[in-house]
Chain A
């Protein structure tokens, strides 16, 4: 057996089947194959393997692959200190800003009402001849609560010099 391909460069038949050889080398291999039955059989087998591998198609990629990937990227993206600092002051879309503004306005109004309670709200409830015990208890609780709020507001509102 004196086959130059088999003894010195057996990888050449793989490269030949893969179409990796330049034209000149490929022609030289073909000439060799004409006279070497062993290499001819191997080249044919290699071509068969190549074709068999061609038949193996991979399934298509899921359509939501990118969405899932970007979701994971968003989850794991570290936020810089500057972004953390400026995020609350960024302009906000109207759809998000409106409910927040409405909530803030309500809180502000509630605060103003508590700070300057209406004379009607603090006025004692008119006495009734027929008062139930649970009503009395509830009214006393409310009055106590209002007194506590009034005391707290007067302490907060007082100027330190005036005390």
Chain B
């Protein structure tokens, strides 16, 4: 990556760096990317790659699609570096792009193939999701059934609820961050999460605490 991004004449990046310091280190790294530092982009990629891919995977539930969409996420981050302003946490911005792309894909996919696709995805369950501790055949079967039930329960949630649950549960994002990603109020996020967990409780609580 040796491309020098365009910095408009007269624009001081020092002010941007100072503003980012009050936000988070990632935003500061992104401002360095804006100044042409490709290494900082690499640092951001290493730090957030897995969480973005896993988040998108749990939303769309197809690994190949998740990686493709995640490539697009990081590509958009890189391409919009020249216009980047640290107005929010970097992770919020990143997940806003990821959520937007994934939900758009889901809408297109739903439109093209119909909702039944989400209910019939047991065939493409990747085997590598099974733990490497060499479990017995019975354990594998039980785990597979349990996993499938969780996947179906999450897939059945409305899109915004699904995204909110995934950010809350797996990314441990704060309500205010989730609100910014989804473009709604913090109280709306609490309500979304409450309804989502109510639905999940009805579907998954019988699985017990073990």
Contact = CB atoms under 8 A, between A and B. Distances in A.
A12 to B, nearest CB: 10
Contacts of A91: none
Contact of B45 (A58, A69, A76, A83): A69
Contacts of B53: 58, 61, 65
A68 interface: yes
A45 B34 CA distance: 47
Q: Interface extent on A, as a size class?
A: 35 or more
Contacts of B147: 55-56
B201 interface: yes
Interface string A27-58: 00000000000000010111111111101111
B67 to A, nearest CB: 6
A52 B207 contact: yes
B40 interface: no
Interface residues of B, number: 48
Nearest to A82: B4
A81 B205 CA distance: 62
A47 B138 CA distance: 25
Among A14, A18, A51, the most chain B Cβ lie within 10 Å of the Cβ of A14
A49 B49 CA distance: 27
B169 A51 contact: no
B107 interface: no
B193 A14 contact: yes
Given A60-B128, A61-B67, A77-B3, A49 B75 contact: no
B92 interface: no
Contacts, number: 103
B50 interface: yes
Contacts of B210: 51
A135 to B, nearest CB: 59
Given A11-B190, A49-B205, A58-B53, A72 B128 contact: no
B187 to A, nearest CB: 9
Nearest to B52: A61
B190 A59 contact: no
Among B6, B170, B197, the most chain A Cβ lie within 10 Å of the Cβ of B197
A57 to B, nearest CB: 6
A68 B149 CA distance: 33
Interface of B: 1, 3-4, 6, 45, 49-50, 53-54, 57-58, 63, 67, 70-71, 74-75, 78-79, 126, 128-129, 131, 143, 146-147, 149-151, 154, 165, 168-170, 190-191, 193-194, 197, 200-201, 204-210
28 contacts: A11-B194, A42-B201, A45-B205, A46-B197, A48-B205, A48-B206, A48-B208, A48-B209, A51-B207, A52-B149, A53-B154, A53-B165, A53-B169, A55-B150, A56-B58, A56-B151, A57-B129, A58-B53, A58-B57, A59-B63, A60-B128, A61-B53, A65-B49, A66-B49, A69-B74, A73-B78, A76-B79, A77-B1
